[in-house]
Every structure is written in C-alpha cells, then in structure tokens.
A and B are shown apart, each in its own frame.
Chain A
Amino acid sequence: MSIDYSLYLAKERLPHLWCPGCGHGIILKNMLISMAEMEVPREKALLACGIGCSGRAGDYVNIHRFQGTHGRTLAYVTGIKMAHPELKTFCIMGDGDCSAIGIGHLIHAARRNVDVTAIVPNNLNYGMTGGQFPPLTPGESLTSTSRSGKAEPDMDLCRLAAEAGANYVARTTVYHVVEMKKRFIEATSNKGFSLVEVITPCPTYYGRYNQLGNAHEMIEWIKNKTVPLHKYEEMSVKNQEQHFWRGKLVEKHKPDLYTRYWQHERGMDHRA
C-alpha cells in the first residue's frame, strides 16, 4: 500500500460521535483504506453523505466533503459529477436515508448510471432519530415505533438497484471487513453506478430493542444471520426470511451518464 489511509482522515476531529460498538467507523475506515489502495489523490476524492448517524462520517475526513438534505445525496451528486466527472465519489447514506425518503433518487441515479460508489450502512433502523423502523428493517423486528414487531415486510435494496440499472451491486457486512474493502475497490473501479450495502450493528437501538446483546454479540449475530448469495438462493423462502445474503449481485460495464451525455450531444454535432 503506497498511501497511508490516515492521510484522508481529519485526525483533529476525533474522537467521533458514534456510540461504542457502532459499525459506522469500521465502514468509514474501510472506505478510506480502499481509497488509499487505489491511490486516489486527496483533492480528487469526494465523500457525499446523507443525514443520519452514518452521515456524520463527513466530519472526519479531509477530502472534499458534501452533506446535503436527508435522502437527496444522489440527486446532488448527479449535478456534481456532471461538473466534475473525474472526482472519485463515495456516497454514504443510511438505510433510512436511502431506502425511504431517498429511494426515488436511488432508482434514478442507478438508471442514469451516475458514476459514484453508493455505500449504504444498513443498521436496520433509523439510528439518529432513536431507532424507528425504515423499509429495510426485517419484518417482526422490535423498534421504537414497532413495539409489538414490525408489521410491514422489508425489501431488498440491492435487487432494486440492480433492476434499476446499476453497474455494480454487492452486499457485505461489518464482520466481513476484508471482503468489504474488496467490494469498495471493485465498486469504485467500475465506472458507473455502484452500490454496496453493508449490514452493520446499531447496539444502542436495534440491538437493544431486539435483545441482541452487546456490540460484540451483535456482530456475531450479523455473522450468523448472513450466508453467501449462492447458498441463500438454494434456501426455502421461509428460511430466506431469516437470513441476509452477502456477495456480488451484478457486475456490468455500461457507459456512465457523463459519457453517454457527451457521446450523444457530440453525435448531434453541435459541440465545438
């Protein structure tokens, strides 16, 4: 490794505000390590965050940082990337941010194939606001707004992004740190829209409501709940409901939005 990842870190901002045992720091660190391995120059990297605990990641980096309004990150970066296609852009958006209020923008960013790496730390609840249930919370879970179990079914954000047209989609967990870094690098190296969902512990709310133990036990719980994609596909539907799959869902190489835009407009032969 030729660059030290801590060069991207605003060390003077530490300690961070995340709870002990929160997975958000692990995800940020892996993102920065993957950047270091790809030798991204500091000024050519952008971290665009949503609003939520995970969105605070932007306060601990000294690369270009953007934080907009809740759920809209991918719409802003669509504009940023048309102005600066060369920026290596990472978007960290909580599962609530991305799967509820921001889901329209996710679908359209994937469809347009905007060249960004969307990282979705899925802690199975809205952390920042006190542990309510967003769409990705598994059915029956106890949360601060589903005290007798979540009645609504959950959804698979990865499959949605794939269907919408993403070039690269994968899911991993905070337990699988080596794999996580590998996925971030694959995702970023693949031009176009990439999404990596990372299952991560929120011991303070989801863990506590569902009695999943301390932070360490919660990571064990995530590990035990997760199976590789091919195994998951062989499971019965009932069994699938009890598990998360992890692995790579899609890897394509369609041209990204910026490339297509200018290919088309130049084809119209009116650009000098």
Chain B
Amino acid sequence: MKKDDSIKFLQGNEACALGGITAGARFFAGYPISPASEIAELSSLLLPQRGGIYLQMEDEIASIAAVIGASLGGMKAFTSTSGPGLSLMQENIGFAIMAEAPCVIINVQRFGPSTGVATRPGQADVMAARWGTHGDHGIIVLAPTSVQECYDLTIEAFNLAEALRTPVILLTDATLAHLREKVVTKTDKELSIISRQKPHQVTGDYQPYRPGPNGVPVLPDFGDQNILRITGLVHDHDGYSTPKPQTAGDLVHRLLQKIEGATGLMPTPRYFGSNDPEIVIISFGISARSSREAVNRANDQGVKARLMQLPTIWPFPEEAVRNACSDAKAVLVAEMNSGQICREVRACGIQREKVVGVNRADTAVITPGEILQAIKEVMIL
C-alpha cells in the first residue's frame, strides 16, 4: 500500500511552521522562547531547503523588524514568540499596520504576566493582541483549537495578511504547542493560497497608497521598477509624510475599515451540540476543546447545550455572538484568564446577568468537568 504523505502526526508548533511554509512563507526571524521555540527550530531546518531564510535575531524587536523588512522585500514572512516577546513586538506591530506590511506573528501563550510560568499555558494575551500597540488600529487575531487548526489557521493567517496587507496574530498556547495529533496536510496547489497584489506597470501618475480594492493599496516591493516609499508617519497617496488632518483622518479610517470591512474573509464561528440550546458556551483555543467535551456530556445528561467556538477572536464576531445567544437562558464564556472574552460578549449587548464567566487562571488547562459543573449551576438558577 502506498504511504499517504499528507497524513502526519505533529505537535502544534510543528503544524504552525508547516502551515506557514505551505502558505508560501519563505522568511522567518525569531528569538528563542518557551513554549514557542519549535516553530523556529523547524523553520530553520525547512526554509533553506526551499530557498528561504531563517534568521535568529538579537531580540523580538529585531525579529519582527526583520520580518517586516523581508515582507516589504516581497517575501511572505513570519515570526513566533510568547508573552514577553509579544510585549517587545508591540511598537513594530503598530508600524506594520501603518506601513501595511503583511506578516504573521504566532504567539504561543504561556502563563503571565511577566516571565510567569514559561512552560505552562494561559489564554491571557487576548487583550494584549488586540490593543497592544498604541493608536487607533484594527487587528486580526485567530485562535486554533487543535493541531489540525494550528496548521489550517496559520495558512488562513497568511491569506488574510496578504489579502489585506496587515499583520495577523495567531494565538495558540503551551498545551496546543506540544500536543501531538493527526494532521491532514495539503499542498499549496490543493489550497487557495492568496498572495498580495502588485502594480503592473510603471506609470507616471501611479500613487501607491491610493486605496485599491477593499481599501487595500496595491504596492510594489523594494527592488521593483515602481518605487516603494514606506514610513510609519502619516503619509499621503504618494507615500510622503504629511501632518495634514484630512490625510491623517482618512488614513486611519481606511486602515480601520480595511479590517472591519473584511470580516467576510475571516474564519466564522463553529458550533457543536444542541441546535436549540438553553445554554450557550462561548470559547476559543484549548478551552474550546474542554468546552466541546462538556457540551457532549451535558447533552448526554439531557441539558440542551451548545458550543460556539471562535476561530477569529478579533475583529470580535459581535453579530454572530448576538444571534447565537439571543434565545439562550445563559451564556457561559470559558477561558483561561480572568474574563477577557467575557467582557467582549457582554459588550455585544447581551443581558449582563445572562453572561457567566468560567475562568481558570492558574497554569492548568480548564477541564470539561469544571465547565459541566458551571453548566449545572446555571441550570439550577
């Protein structure tokens, strides 16, 4: 029997590296950190074999800077890190947003704040990923729940980054990073891989930053015949800096709109369990794994429960959350932090008393039993 090469047994970190390379990434720059290091290690091995580059930089600030540089040179580029490194990258994440440099940042969440517990999971970087750079900005953040999704969503992250010319953050965690599971891989030909648009000809009146389709500019790469002008300063359609209020306002509005207007391209929530639920559980990442099991057990015990798993955390899928929760008696939000997504669910306008957090923030993975217990408690109320 012929061996099926597409089926692999991988760690989450390996799946991220493979997903990135399948999506066309040919540049990785990083700095070692637990529990993310295997992404760098596998990239260092595989990229040169494909004509790609692996650089080990002096810190995470340099890592994301090199990634942005390579991206502007036309390479699909990524980095991986964990909490402390994400904190160091924040200024340059804002720069990548402003400069419209497509790139992917894989943040393998560990317990924090600060050095925390380097080898144990957490899900407390939800807000750091959303707001961790100054100024008004939009950001795309995806969160896989399985090793398969580590692979699939890394590819999605690259597609979104390239389509919208923006950084995309993938939030995994220490558990997924080292979990080994079956992964069905695909070749780039079997997938729809998106690459950034490039301007066709050199024309006299070419204005690189004139918004193209969906507000995304069609920019050349460094080294192209068309000249690329990049700056983190407010810039006009030619790419020259200006402090004009009109230009500043238009630019920031376009950058926000570009993300908000593209939610149709992003992975949509996945639902498991009862179609007519009394209890809705909202969760993401590794917590959604436990939630799924809790929902199965609840359903077996005659409680109509349903899981809404969020592969896209930011932009927050407000409308879908509202729709999913409208008829539920209670909404539980299961996450390994002290309530970061829970706040967002409440902010969607769902009755405050209806929304209950199921939180665990002590380095351990939240268990199906804990979530089931929480379901039972709200059923009694």
* A positions within 8 Å CB-CB of B: 10, 13, 42-44, 46, 56, 58-59, 62-69, 72, 75-84, 86-87, 104-105, 107-108, 261, 265, 268, 270-272
Contact = CB atoms under 8 A, between A and B. Distances in A.
B20 to A, nearest CB: 16
B222 interface: yes
A126 B23 CA distance: 43
Contacts of A76: 65-66, 68-69
Given A43-B225, A65-B231, 20 more contacts: A10-B240, A43-B223, A46-B223, A58-B231, A66-B69, A68-B68, A68-B92, A72-B92, A76-B66, A78-B29, A78-B57, A79-B70, A80-B69, A83-B69, A83-B72, A84-B74, A84-B223, A105-B62, A108-B58, A271-B48
A236 B218 CA distance: 59
Contacts of B25: none
Contact of A64 (B65, B91, B223, B232): B223
A260 to B, nearest CB: 12
B358 interface: no
A193 to B, nearest CB: 14
A104 B60 CA distance: 12
A64 B227 contact: yes
Contacts of A56: 241
A13 B62 CA distance: 31
For the complex, would chain A's binding face be called helix, strand, loop or mixed by DSSP majority? helix
A15 B57 CA distance: 39
For the complex, would chain B's binding face be called helix, strand, loop or mixed by DSSP majority? mixed
B58 A105 contact: yes
B256 interface: no
Interface string B216-230: 000001111111111
B73 A78 contact: no
A80 B92 contact: no
A62 B227 CA distance: 7
B61 interface: yes
Contacts of B62: 72, 75, 78, 104-105, 108
A188 to B, nearest CB: 17
A80 B55 contact: no
A80 B221 CA distance: 10
B223 A270 contact: no
Q: Which 3 A-B residue pairings sit nearest by Cβ, starting from the closest?
A: A83-B73, A79-B69, A79-B66
B223 A75 contact: no
Contacts of A10: 240
Interface residues of B, number: 44
A84 B27 CA distance: 12
Contacts of A104: 58-59, 62
Given A79-B29, A79-B77, A261 B58 contact: no
B98 to A, nearest CB: 10
A268 B227 contact: no
Given A69-B232, A83-B74, A77 B223 contact: no
Contacts of B314: none
B323 interface: no
B356 interface: no
Contacts of A42: 227
Contacts of A62: 227
Given A43-B224, A63-B227, A69-B232, A84 B73 contact: yes
B53 A65 contact: no
B367 to A, nearest CB: 42
A67 B227 contact: no
A84 B222 contact: yes
A86 B223 CA distance: 8
5 contacts: A69-B65, A78-B69, A80-B222, A81-B69, A87-B222
A37 B22 CA distance: 44
A86 B73 CA distance: 11
Interface in B85-116: 91-92, 95, 99
Contacts of B69: 66, 75-81, 83
Given A78-B57, A79-B66, A108-B57, A64 B92 contact: no
B315 interface: no
Interface in B179-236: 221-233
